[in-house]
Structure 1
Amino acid sequence: MQVPILTYHGVNVAGNEYAGNDHVAFAADLELIHALGLRIVPAQWLVDNLLGRAGHDLRRCVVLTCDDGSNFDYYDLDHPEHGSQRSFFNALLDFRRRHGRAAQPDLHLTAFVIADPQARARMDVSCLVGRNWMQQEWWRAAQASGLIGIENHSWDHNHPCLDSPGPHGLARGDFHAVASEEQAEFEITQAQEYIAAQMAPRQPRLFCYPFGHVNDFLSRDWLPRRGPEVGLDAAFGDGATPVNADSDRWNLPRYICGWHWRSPEQLRDTLLAAADVAAA
């Protein structure tokens, strides 16, 4: 098993070219993955195999994720500088219309969302353009579509736009700072409970570290001990390597669009390298 996990951010719109626009990249990457003869599968399949719960054939497979849970994930939006942006969800629908369901029967995107509505409102004003583009009303529809899964990206991302210190003395702007029982419960358990309440009867089972910040307390102590108790199966960081049978379930590596690759050619090389290892 050698499965690369690719990650996108809907708020990354710095133009309308591949290197600066995750929506342009996402649509192009769907076509590239398919042209290479690779299969897109849900992140939960990968985790279930790691935990010995399932035996999915994951040879030559790719997992897709996106972070933060902005409205860009689900809705087409008019960016004030760069015009209409096709959402990740609609890009998936476009791909399915072009190729048919049989082309990628397990097509799926895992969306890691920020839970706290007040924090999302602050981020919308501080980091976007104050148009209420960090809402949650689309979560249930996305989940019901079968194309997107809603998962846990913490309570408030410990975002630098929030007042510091936060609860339990939490210094803002760095998820490495989440290093106590109280802070972990505030950021992760509280988010689990909130997202589960919005998505009932389904609850989130996957967690993604904000900023890709993985510390030893969370990955080696709190999550192995408390994660299963609060309903979590695994956690995702960055790492830029494929997931294999020996990967740490509490720090699964991902490739980040715009960071680990910035062109179709770079992604092609990454995917082919992982596929070659899997084939071998």
Structure 2
Amino acid sequence: MRVPILTYHGVNIAGNDYATNDHVAFAADLDAIHALGLRIVPVAWVVDAVLGRATRDLARCVALTCDDGSNFDYHDLDHPQHGRQKSFYNALLDFRARHGAHAQPDLHLTSFVIAEPAARDAMDRLCLVGRDWMREDWWRAAQASGLVAIENHSWDHNHPCLTSPGPAGLVRGDFHDVGDEAKAEFEIAQAQDYIASRIERRPSLFCYPFGHVNDFLRADWLPRRGAALGLDAAFGDGATPATVDTDRWNVPRYICGWHWKSPEGLAQILRDAAK
């Protein structure tokens, strides 16, 4: 198993071409992955293989994730500068309409969402365009669709735009600083409870904000607390394929716009993983 896990951000809209718009890239990448004869599978299947609890054949497979949980993950929206944007969810539906459900029978996307409403509201006003595009009212419908899973991207992303003080002296803007019990409970455990209350299912996966992975969370707190919280694995940004030897608390991913910026860049990642 050498599965590249690809990651997109619904708020990355700086134009309407591949290099400047993750929605354009996502739709193009679905077709490119399919054209290469690769299978798209749920990222939870990759975790099952890492944990040794399933024996699915995951050769020549790809998994898809997206971060932050903006409305752009699920709803088509009119961007004030760049016009109508196709959501990741509707891009999946369009792919199925073009190719048929049999083409990628396990088609799936995992959306890592931020839990706290006040934090999402602040990010919407200060980092987006202030149109209330960081809501949670689509989470349950997305989860129920069978095409999207809602998972944990922390309580408030420890985002630098937040003016509220972090607990126990937490330094805003740096998830590496989530380095003790109180901070971890604040950022991860309470997010588990909140998201579960909204989708009637406990998240089983966590994604480190900013890709900031520290030894306390990876090697101590998550191995101790993860099972009790319902967590099976956590995801970073290591830019290598996931294998059966992957650290379950630091599963690597490739980030669109960082680890690849063009169709050719993605094709190289996919070719290397398939070797």
- Name the residue aligned to 1:188: 188
Cα offsets for 1:124-149 (capped at 9, x unmatched): 00100110000000001001110000
Give the secondary structure class of the aligned counterpart of 2:267.
Answer: helix
Q: How many corresponding residue pairs? A: 275
Give the secondary structure class of the aligned counterpart of 1:103.
Answer: coil
Find the aligned partners of 1:164 and 1:120 in 2 and give their Cα distance. Answer: 13
Q: Is 1:160–1:173's contact at 8 Å kept on the other side of the alignment? A: yes
- Name the residue aligned to 2:261: 262
Give the secondary structure class of the aligned counterpart of 2:132.
Answer: coil
Find the aligned partners of 2:259 and 2:23 in 1 and give their Cα distance. Answer: 16
Find the aligned partners of 1:89 and 1:244 in 2 and give their Cα distance. Answer: 27
- Name the residue aligned to 1:30: 30
Find the aligned partners of 1:23 and 1:84 in 2 and give their Cα distance. Answer: 11
- Name the residue aligned to 2:219: 220
Which amino acid counterpart does residue 185 of structure 1 have in structure 2? E
Q: Is 1:7–1:64's contact at 8 Å kept on the other side of the alignment? A: yes
Higher mean alpha-carbon deviation, 120-129 vs 48-57, is at: 48-57
Which amino acid counterpart does residue 128 of structure 1 have in structure 2? L
Q: Is 1:164–1:172's contact at 8 Å kept on the other side of the alignment? A: no
Find the aligned partners of 1:106 and 1:68 in 2 and give their Cα distance. Answer: 23
Give the secondary structure class of the aligned counterpart of 1:101.
Answer: coil
1:165: Cα distance to partner?
A: 3.3
- Name the residue aligned to 1:235: 234
- Name the residue aligned to 1:90: 90
* CA RMSD, 1 decimal: 0.7
Find the aligned partners of 2:195 and 2:273 in 1 and give their Cα distance. Answer: 33
Find the aligned partners of 1:263 and 1:15 in 2 and give their Cα distance. Answer: 14
Cα offsets for 1:227-270 (capped at 9, x unmatched): 11111000000010000111100000000000000000010011
Which amino acid counterpart does residue 24 of structure 1 have in structure 2? V
Which amino acid counterpart does residue 69 of structure 2 have in structure 1? G
1:115: Cα distance to partner?
A: 0.2
Which amino acid counterpart does residue 106 of structure 1 have in structure 2? D
Find the aligned partners of 1:35 and 1:48 in 2 and give their Cα distance. Answer: 26
1:52: Cα distance to partner?
A: 1.4
1:164: Cα distance to partner?
A: 5.4
- Name the residue aligned to 1:5: 5
Give the secondary structure class of the aligned counterpart of 1:171.
Answer: coil
> Counterparts of 1:1-280 in structure 2 under 5 Å?
1-163=1-163, 165-200=165-200, 202-276=201-275
Cα offsets for 1:205-228 (capped at 9, x unmatched): 000000000001110110111111
Cα offsets for 1:191-214 (capped at 9, x unmatched): 0000011111x2100000000000
Cα offsets for 1:87-117 (capped at 9, x unmatched): 0000000000000000000000000000000
Runs of 4+ in 1 over 2 A off after TM superposition: none
Find the aligned partners of 1:41 and 1:9 in 2 and give their Cα distance. Answer: 19
1:49: Cα distance to partner?
A: 1.3
Find the aligned partners of 2:215 and 2:255 in 1 and give their Cα distance. Answer: 21
TM-score by length of 1: 0.97
Q: Is 1:196–1:204's contact at 8 Å kept on the other side of the alignment? A: yes
Task: Using the aligned pairs only, state the percent identity.
Answer: 75
Find the aligned partners of 2:57 and 2:101 in 1 and give their Cα distance. Answer: 19
Which amino acid counterpart does residue 181 of structure 1 have in structure 2? E
TM-score by length of 2: 0.99
Q: Is 1:164–1:170's contact at 8 Å kept on the other side of the alignment? A: no
- In structure 1, the gaps of 5 or more residues are none
